[in-house]
Chains A and B, each alone.
Chain A
Amino acid sequence: MTQATTNGKTTRTAPLTFTVNGRPVTVDVRPSAFLAEVLREQLGLTGVKIGCNEAECGICTVLVDGAPVNSCIYPALKANGARVETIEGLACGDRLHPLQQAFIEQGAVQCGFCTPGLIMTAKALLDANPNPSEDDIKHALKDTYCRCTGYVSVIAAIKQAAGQNGHSALPETRPPLNVVGRPLPRPDAVAKVTGAAKYTDDYVFPGMLHACTLRAGIPHARIVRIDTSKAKALPGVAAVLTHEDVPGAKNHGLVYADWPVLCYDKVRYVGDAVAIVAAETREIAEQALSLIEVEYEPLPVVDDPVTALAPDAPKVHEQGNLLKHIHVEKGDVERGLAEADVIIEGEYETATTEHAFLEPECAIGRVTDDGRVEVYVGSQIPYADRKQIAAALGVPESQVRVIGTLIGGGFGGKEDIAGQIHVALLARATGRPVKMLYRRSESLIFHPKRHAVKFKVKVGAKRDGTFTAMRIELWGDTGAYASLGDKVMTRAATHASGPYEVPHVKIDCYAAYTNNVPAGAFRGFGVTQSCFAIESAIDELAHKLNLDPIEVRRKNALRVGSVTNTGARIRESCGLLACIEKVADALNDDLAQAQGSWVFRRPDKPDHVYAWGFAAAYKNTGLGGGANDCSTVEVEAFGNGSVEVRTSAAEIGQGLVGVLASIAAEELGLPYERVHVLLSDTDLTPDGGPTTASRQTYVTGNAARLASIKLRQQLAAVAAEMLDAPADALVFCDGQVRAGDRAVSFAEVVQQAHAEGQSTRLSHLYEAPKTQPLGTGGDMHVAFSYAAQAALVEVNERTGEVACLKVISATDVGRAINPLALQGQIDGGIVMCIGNALTEEFIQEKGIPYTDRLARYKMPSIRHAPEIVSFIVEDETADGPYGAKGVGEISSIPTTPAITNAIYAATGVRVRRLPVDQDWLLRTMKAQRSANSE
């Protein structure tokens, strides 16, 4: 045992001697250090990722003497004498391990943060069992989570690496162009499977301090006094800041600046930031937090969006608790209801849910020699970060640089400010680099969630199933701060009557402040919630009218010529009917095996009942509603024949880097590999706008396409001279520019342009077609994506347990730019939506999160991954790049009601609250059965 001294604090260390990736190593470690910390911080093996620090997510998996362990809670000293393997040791030089290769080829790499853990867990499996069955795979990986892929591609990759024929063939898509339309691997895939990929916490700067945030811990209170003197006096503490140290804007916020950088008068939820500390080590910073004294005067808590709007409710904000009332009206709903032969009424409720991106929030702030502030962060909206950081610091935006790192999943949860402003403040206060990494427990209570929404739904229809009217009311819990609540609930409201033409609609939606954790953007953006309500009601209607649920939807589906509930006319690119037909056909093939019945039993499973359910959905592409939706892309060609595409748009695992590379390669006639994409550096890349609303392929994709075309035209003029041919007769292909049988290389053309003094770097600002605000009746959105899904569920009649076994999905995406990435989005969306239906709930009690650790938030594991049969419909939209529209959200929307409708078919119990609770389901089934038998 030895003693080391840093900043007056004595630290005991002990030697750890072990073999890491075949190399003998001895390091002195703290006796309380865990293996993951030692591997990451002392040995620089940052391919080892930490997702939760509680042995829940499994992404920190390394092998100790061949056995997979969670390195985040494995005492480092316990590895003494052991053989440790990490992701960094898998490849032999440039030769990837078969698992790494298979993960790339099967598209099992998206955000990449869980990839090392998945691969290492799979390696242990294959080492012990070279020919595993699918059950073996699911058993071995049950506690290694992935939030992006939906596990389908992961299973296929493991099968491929085991030499089995793993590939579930990609759905049929339109014949590809040269590059666009081909299932190409992600440009960042190799870095992600080898552990070389760097996320924010993987960056280390000399002299870097570690920061922590003091959170309110109570849901609603007036701040009486804050005393930081004891914390400031603690050795090793470099700075303790409160609201008094915020020189500029006291609040931030993407739409409404209502969220205190550091709370000054009140705290409005448990996760509110009250003070921040930077210290030599994280331990000292945490200790300093405990020395800060804050005196609160507790205030009454409001924890429900309906009661929040009562006249006597405690006020979360001075102006009252109504963030926004959203009204959608078409026709005369009373008349429509009067014309109905049948009216269905129902109340529905969705839960608050958590993104559970596997990378907890992290930010690093740094002051450069010229006095500017740099912030490293994995953010969905880098330019909005820059704006909000600059405002809080009280400096011009030019004084702030936001440098985007790789992002370990976002799903909407990394749009708001987390630690970005705090690290900037602390870096300026201390003059040193400052890293702020949230623990999972902190991430859970801090960041905005999916809105819990209550619905009242009334649907009127004719006997043949034709809708006559829909009257819908929604109450959304936006929590303590607005975040994107206004926009989310607007989307929930405008999509609340489903992808159908309804002559008379009246929708009133109320977004209310409460003292719960804020709610904001989450994949589906409000539509996930309304789809559950309306698709359940439609299913109920079909049953009541004794009509085929698919036929009811077919009859009312939006099609070209339809007018939406906001008064917009659908003029093109409406593949909903095609989606419905694809799913109906595939479902019929399945049903043929069960004598055509949607409900059936299996002789080998007498306690189980099986049933299919159906649902459809649509989702806007782009911001819409009159917002100026634009993106700028810069493209530069180099003399070596390569091209760089630059924009500040987030790669959160969805595959934007590949999409942009494909588009530039297509337009410039280059091999895909010759295009490099640089994202999210506000000094180097222009603004691509927010990564939200399924907009990047459409908006930034168009900007990349048009910038590339401009560059091609410029280079064509140069090549025309070189080849003595008219510019418009030239063909850019395979890295060459051709005129008939003569050709010059792309590189030579760029060199010639440079020799002529031309710049081969240019940019294009793309503005999406103008949209109209809600209430004006025009085009509210540039396009919609559509989907239909059928889900097969198994219900255990003795325990109420529900499993989703199979999903048949058809998705209209306009055009598949990269079918491999597209399928990843579809699989991942479906499995995330299975979680929304069956497992996920962020539980809060009177404003206090019960879900304060990952062990209390169940998300789908590999065991939840169903069989997925996927069809792609490509009903092109005229203004999308190659006809493409948004894909990021649509697949994650209809799965929930498809499942709950299947549960109804199986049990006769209508699910009115999410997630489905097997406890409630079993008791309700029994009660219903005994009521029926009386």
Chain B
Amino acid sequence: MSWNDYFMPKTLEEAVRLLAAHGGRARVIGGGTDYFVDEAHQPAPEALVDVTRIADLRGIWEEEGYVVIGCGASHAQIVASPIVQAHGAALVEACGQIGGPQVRNVATLAGNIAHALPAADGAIALLALDGEALIAWAEGDAVIREWRPLPQLFRGPGQSAIDSTRQVLAALRFPVRAPSEGSAFARVMRPQGVALPIMGLAARVRLRDDGAIADVRVTLGPAAPTPFRAQATEAYLRGRAPDAQTLREAGEMLLGEVHPRTSPHRATAAYRREVIPVLFQEAMGRALRRVAVLEGG
């Protein structure tokens, strides 16, 4: 692995112009914790454009009803952020489980999303939060910025709709938490072999005044080539009271709409089907308890 330049632009405009100037031979990099460990980058890019030092995209802030996470924000920053803790508990839990402190201090959520792995914890949690991504690129003299819903970013396993030689995933955002809303993330890791989760699942639930479910998101992976949103299960849950029987039935329904695969050395489809309802119960339970805590106090 060898590149001639390592750029750390201070503005988004500078970043997209650097990419444009290299005509596809430069590549965006976040923390690099996935990129640098994968030895199979052929041919190596001419230059890397590190987008973690863009002055106004290093932090996490609230803006126009959204929580915005800049592309420079590390997993550690997200976990420690009072804003994310208040509005996106599922994301805090997901980001807190990735790697150890050394990786979380460097790896960015934007990089995790741009990598487009179906089991990416952060992507699954952000999908449950109705996340969106700000994509920026140069077109002639203009710099285009466009918010896109998260699902549009994933084409397939490890295949991102973002062209990281031309575009920058500049920021991520999700709506601030509504009253009576809670979220949570749960996962099962394989203790042997490859260091990837067997299954991760996020839930976000909002309750009506009568205690029934007003709206809900259930997202999981790897259950499909891209992070998966269980819309049939969500539809079933809407309008129902989240009692034990409903949740049990929803767990069964969830199994009806996902098609987990057997991944060699990682998990069998049968095992994944065993743990999906378990994770669903765990994440939903925790999300509902969060609503109760918020309502109670």
Contact = CB atoms under 8 A, between A and B. Distances in A.
A560 interface: no
Interface in A843-872: 843, 850-851, 853, 855-858
A641 B37 CA distance: 53
B76 interface: yes
B100 A58 contact: yes
Interface string B25-53: 00000001100110100000001101010
A68 B101 contact: yes
Interface stretch (A74-82, A210-218, A464-472): A74-82
Contacts of A32: 1-4, 6
Interface residues of B, number: 40
Contacts of A919: 190, 198, 267-268, 271
Interface string A568-600: 000000000000000000000000000000000
A96 interface: no
Given A1-B5, A12-B4, A441-B39, A923 B271 contact: yes
Interface stretch (B84-92, B102-110, B162-170, B202-210): B102-110
A-B residue pairs, 5 tightest by C-beta: A143-B100, A919-B271, A54-B37, A73-B36, A31-B6
Given A75-B50, A144-B100, A915-B192, A70 B106 contact: yes
Contacts of B4: 12, 31-32
Given A78-B6, A858-B193, 13 more contacts: A31-B3, A56-B195, A75-B48, A142-B100, A142-B101, A143-B99, A798-B275, A839-B191, A855-B37, A856-B194, A856-B195, A918-B190, A918-B191
B257 interface: no
B52 to A, nearest CB: 8
A835 B279 CA distance: 26
Given A839-B192, A855-B194, A73 B33 contact: yes
Contacts of B194: 855-856
12 contacts: A1-B5, A14-B6, A31-B6, A32-B6, A64-B105, A70-B33, A73-B36, A142-B100, A283-B2, A858-B192, A919-B198, A922-B274
B271 to A, nearest CB: 4
A61 B268 contact: no
A67 interface: yes
Nearest to A75: B6
B78 to A, nearest CB: 14
Interface residues of A, number: 57
Given A78-B50, A124-B101, A839-B191, A69 B106 contact: yes
Interface in A264-317: 283
B190 to A, nearest CB: 7
Nearest to A71: B102
Interface in B1-28: 1-6, 8
Contacts of B102: 55, 58, 61, 68-70, 121, 143-144
Given A73-B36, A75-B6, A923-B274, A917 B192 contact: yes
A30 B4 CA distance: 8
Given A78-B50, A799-B278, A70 B103 contact: yes
Interface string A815-848: 0000000000000000000000011110100000
Nearest to A439: B39
B105 to A, nearest CB: 4
Interface of A: 1, 12, 14, 30-32, 34, 53-56, 58, 61, 64, 67-70, 73-75, 77-78, 80, 121, 124, 139-144, 283, 441, 798-801, 838-841, 843, 850-851, 853, 855-858, 915, 917-919, 922-923, 926
A799 B188 CA distance: 8
A67 B99 contact: no
B253 to A, nearest CB: 19
A143 B193 CA distance: 15
Interface in B176-203: 188, 190-195, 198
Contacts of A799: 188, 274-275, 278
Interface in B243-284: 265, 267-268, 270-271, 274-275, 278
A926 B105 contact: no
A217 to B, nearest CB: 14
A74 B8 CA distance: 14
Nearest to A857: B193
Contacts of A923: 268, 270-271, 274
A730 B257 CA distance: 88
